[in-house]
Chains A and B, each alone.
Chain A
Amino acid sequence: MRSSGHILRVPIRLFSIVALTLGVAFCIAPGTSLACKHYDEYGFSVCVDLESSAYIRLPNVKRTLFNPTTEKFFTRHADNLEFQRNALHVVLDGSPHAISEALGFAVRWHLELQPFYDSTYDFTGSGQGMYSILGDQLRTNINGRLADSYDPLFREYYLDLLPQNFFIRLGRQIIPWGKSDGVYMLDILNNFNLVNPENFNEQNVKIPVWAANVTWNATPTGSLQMVFIPQYFPTYYAGLQYKGGFPVQGGFGDFTYNSVAYANNILNGEFGVKLPTNVNLPSTRLNNWTYAARWSDQIADVHYTLNYAYTWTSTMISYPNTGNNLTASAFNLHPHRIHVAGGSADYDVDVGNEWVDGTVFRVESAVTTQDVYYEGIVGNPIDVTHWGALFGVDRIVLKDYLDKPIFFSFQYWQDWVLRRNNNCTTCGPFANKFQDVGFNGGPSGMRGLYKSLSTLYMDKTWMTGDILDTYTSVVYDWQYSDWWIQPQATYRVTDYTTIGMGFNIFAGSKQSPYGEFTNNTNVFFFLRKTLL
């Protein structure tokens, strides 16, 4: 157990790391270069940016964790440095004119590299660096470890083909669906890297997938999109790492969900028996592909989509070899096939009435069949059919009072389990409830058939040129009464340098989805620097 004296080293070393990063960023970047460099004679351009961020825990707390080696619990001070990530973002785009002319239509290529290094795992002796097993897979994506499955070095790379009336993108890419913010019913073609689940920049935290993404522009407003994804990448989160058939940790990572730590500790022998897990990812055979289609169009002033996907559960599911967690001697971890069908629409009110004009209403809905929830205290995986629906309203407010008014957005989302195995006799107490991400063994971490949450988002820019941008995002879970609040300010120092800071504030009961991270409440800083 470390004495409090060691803790003081963390802020000083942190300051040194951050200051060094900032200093390097400012020194190596030319003061007045143009953004991106274009090589017209070769037909490509390159842009390079550096992003550095640090998340500092605010509460001074201890954590009780399970050591898979000693199979005992221990209590240790929770490090204050949650993340200190440095990522270089290199984007190359090109248009090979000779190929375009030969084919008779435009061809473009895109290559995006994003090497990153998280120095959190270098603070040995305190902090995440104490858990060297974490650093091996989370420190960087240039060591050939797991990062390619969740935060790849070669992040996106694809060819765009534009024959008449078609848009075809082939390669590793991000394919967004849906009209919701922060809620993902239809936006399921890319799973998420949740090592740091506080990051809203989806293009940096979605896991790119290899895909053939074909869009037929059938009409000036209507398009049919078909997507074929050969390889499954599950949602990645702290605690998913396995070695020798056993989880490498049961809560070491700062944002390990309670439910993951709870399960991992059991697998690692919390109750005296270690239970191995066989991890199986689907192969890339045709019958394991994801097949998805979307029709987008508008009717009058309503923009709508109709979506269907035959895909996999967003996370891997842990199946007991006996069918019952209570009697299992081993587990199989693999995803389950699901069908997702739904649609979305938005409407901008424009009826000549100033009180309602300019209000945007959004709806999104999806039915998912053969999804898997963990039912009851025992938590046996059960097939479910559930219906998700979201209603959102956006409006710019105070426009008569503020030169730069406030963008206001409110969403209400619900998830309703419509069908399940009604008589789960092996699920133990609370068999009509399901384990949520905050579950840590007790019923307060379980949700019912119906779950809902709301989001509130407000954004305002300031100063000439909108160079200061502030927003506040709030998520509230109605069933658990827990909160997540993220205010943030971003300031564009120059066209090449942006700085920002914010807070992530979690509140609620210990087994609620956001309340479980109450002790992770943090302040964060970031710097973005255009280098080329």
Chain B
Amino acid sequence: MKYQKTTVGVAVLGAVFSTMLWSPLVQKAQSAESSATTSATAGASTTQAPTMVAGKPYSIEPGKDPGTFVVKWGDASMIWKAKPWMEPVLAKAGPAYLAQWSSKGLTYPYELPVDQRDKLPAGQYLDRCFAYGENFPPDAENQWDEAVARIYLPDGSVRTETDLLEIASAFVSGHGRQYLPASQAAQVARIYKWTATTPEELRGQGGTTTVLTDPNLDPQDTLYLPTVRRTRRLAGAVAKQYFPGTIYRYEDVSYLQALPQLNYKIIGFELFNPPDTFRGYGPNDVPQNQRLGGAGDVNVIIEITPKPGVSWWYAKRIYHCGLIDMHFWYSEEFDANGTMMRRFVQMPMTGSKLHLGKLDGPPASDLWTIWGYASVQEFNSGFVEEGFDTTGGFNAEVPASVYAPVSLERQSMTIQEWLE
């Protein structure tokens, strides 16, 4: 009970804090006739959109059309427009909403001021943007969700649909330690557990991934098979392999950190202006799954290549992580000929659309995010996979043994059972 009050307190404080942050920004953004802008030149507090990102001036000003914004970064500019799938707060506030993750006083991975975020070692962005910024909020005891993943044929029809239940915890900030034995507290960075509830052929299959703090060690996986009703250690599931039944790779789902087999290099920065062809950014792309988009952010661009002698599923991966909000936005993978094979897009949901504690619990802090939507477009085959959360939240009151292998043997079929 004590920790629950504390986390609720943090959530309330976070909600108030975030409201204080973006309210003045919203008011300014919506004033088309106001001469005040959302840039620092208006004398805004540090909670406003940054004025310099990656060494170049950055500004957000209301656009000609209502609800639009002009975002400028150095010589680049883009018109920001609201989309049907956006969370209402983002749709209303515009790209300045993303600036809340650059506020002062936040914890990892947002603790650095924006002017220092472009100077990190390349590999660190994966931890900050992908692992913790988007998928495993370090301040939560756990995060959970119910999700749907669909594979589409090249003609656009649905080939298969899988329903999943997930729960995960990150231990870097000291939260969630009750799920670990004392002997492992320093060794384990995160644990992720999943199970499939449909289709029938996959129903009941599940597994766990335990990511270790030592970056040179591979994560460890278990797999529960309902045909034998047992959990087994999964031999050497490698990041480059497909996640079972999907066209995501383990690298997209649970092996999210910088991997020892790969090289990471910052090759540039960009003002993110995603076209509608980016699956997830189109106006008709799963509008019922309300989420964030990174349009208007300034991305660090990271080139990822296999180390000499390492065989990998791509020759080069270009990885884009937002510096203002520290979220991973998308990556593109290329074969040895330089042909783009695949694009992976991920878009988070904030606590405002999620629940605290129970399925019907109050919203959590806006600052807490989980993956809300993820798509893979395979250009060689024409297949597309699209996954999105249908519900989710944080800090469910789950038993300390929630990640024990035997827990999968209960074969939970609903999100409620999953959290009991």
> B-contacting residues of A (Cβ < 8 Å)?
34-36, 38, 45, 47, 49, 93, 95, 106, 108, 160, 162, 164-165, 167, 174, 176, 178-179, 181, 200-203, 215, 217, 219-223, 296, 298, 300-301, 303, 346-348, 350-352, 354, 357-360, 362, 394-396, 399-401, 403-405, 407-409, 464-467, 490, 492, 494-496, 498, 528, 530
Question: A200: which B residues are within 8 A, CB to CB?
Answer: 227
B238:A496 contact, CB within 8 angstroms: no
- Can you list 29 A-B contacts (CB < 8 A)? A35-B198, A35-B203, A95-B416, A167-B410, A179-B230, A179-B232, A202-B228, A203-B228, A219-B181, A219-B400, A219-B401, A220-B179, A223-B404, A296-B404, A348-B220, A350-B217, A352-B216, A357-B236, A359-B236, A362-B233, A395-B235, A396-B237, A404-B241, A407-B235, A409-B235, A464-B381, A492-B199, A494-B160, A496-B200
B244:A352 contact, CB within 8 angstroms: no
B230:A464 contact, CB within 8 angstroms: no
**Given A220-B178, A220-B403 in contact, is the A465-B200 Cβ separation under 8 Å?**
no
What 5 additional pairs, Cβ within 8 angstroms, besides A220-B400, A351-B217?
A: A221-B181, A362-B233, A394-B233, A396-B238, A464-B247
**Given A301-B220, A403-B242 in contact, is the A358-B236 Cβ separation under 8 Å?**
yes
Residue of B nearest to A393 (CB): B235
B200:A47 contact, CB within 8 angstroms: yes
Q: How far is the CB of A165 from chain B (nearest CB, A)?
A: 7
B208-224: contact bitstring with A at CB < 8 Å (1 yes, 0 no)? 00001000111011000
Question: B201: which A residues are within 8 A, CB to CB?
Answer: 490, 492, 495, 498, 528
Does any Cβ of A come within 8 Å of B159's Cβ?
yes
The answer, among A176, A220, A347, for a CB contact under 8 Å with B229, is A176
A358:B160 contact, CB within 8 angstroms: no
Does any Cβ of A come within 8 Å of B328's Cβ?
no
A202:B227 contact, CB within 8 angstroms: yes
Q: For the complex, what is the distance from the CA of A459 to the CA of B273, rounded to whole Å?
A: 44
Does any Cβ of A come within 8 Å of B399's Cβ?
yes
Q: Which 4 A-B pairs have the closest CB atoms?
A: A358-B236, A495-B199, A217-B401, A394-B235
Q: How far is the CB of B32 from chain A (nearest CB, A)?
A: 45
Q: For the complex, what is the distance from the CA of A220 to the CA of B400, rounded to whole Å?
A: 5
Question: B399: which A residues are within 8 A, CB to CB?
Answer: 164-165, 217
Residue of A nearest to B260 (CB): A352
Q: How far is the CB of A464 from chain B (nearest CB, A)?
A: 5
Residue of A nearest to B242 (CB): A404
Does any Cβ of A come within 8 Å of B33's Cβ?
no
Q: For the side of the interface on B, what is the size category?
A: 35 or more
Question: A464: which B residues are within 8 A, CB to CB?
Answer: 151, 159, 247, 378, 381, 383
Question: A301: which B residues are within 8 A, CB to CB?
Answer: 220
A360:B151 contact, CB within 8 angstroms: no
Q: For the complex, what is the distance from the CA of A347 to the CA of B235, rounded to whole Å?
A: 10
Residue of B nearest to A401 (CB): B311
Question: B383: which A residues are within 8 A, CB to CB?
Answer: 464-465
Question: A174: which B residues are within 8 A, CB to CB?
Answer: 229
Question: B405: which A residues are within 8 A, CB to CB?
Answer: 296, 303
**Given A200-B227, A300-B183, A357-B218 in contact, is the A45-B406 Cβ separation under 8 Å?**
no
B253-264: contact bitstring with A at CB < 8 Å (1 yes, 0 no)? 000000011000
A399:B236 contact, CB within 8 angstroms: yes
Question: B403: which A residues are within 8 A, CB to CB?
Answer: 220
A346:B232 contact, CB within 8 angstroms: yes
Q: For the complex, what is the distance from the CA of A362 to the CA of B230, rounded to whole Å?
A: 14
**Given A301-B220, A360-B234, A405-B241 in contact, is the A465-B228 Cβ separation under 8 Å?**
no
Question: B237: which A residues are within 8 A, CB to CB?
Answer: 358, 396
Q: For the complex, what is the distance from the CA of A400 to the CA of B310, rounded to whole Å?
A: 8
Residue of A nearest to B419 (CB): A106
Does any Cβ of A come within 8 Å of B161's Cβ?
yes
A358:B218 contact, CB within 8 angstroms: yes
Q: For the complex, what is the distance from the CA of A464 to the CA of B218, rounded to whole Å?
A: 25
Question: A494: which B residues are within 8 A, CB to CB?
Answer: 160
A95:B159 contact, CB within 8 angstroms: no
A95:B181 contact, CB within 8 angstroms: no
Q: For the complex, what is the distance from the CA of A219 to the CA of B184, rounded to whole Å?
A: 12
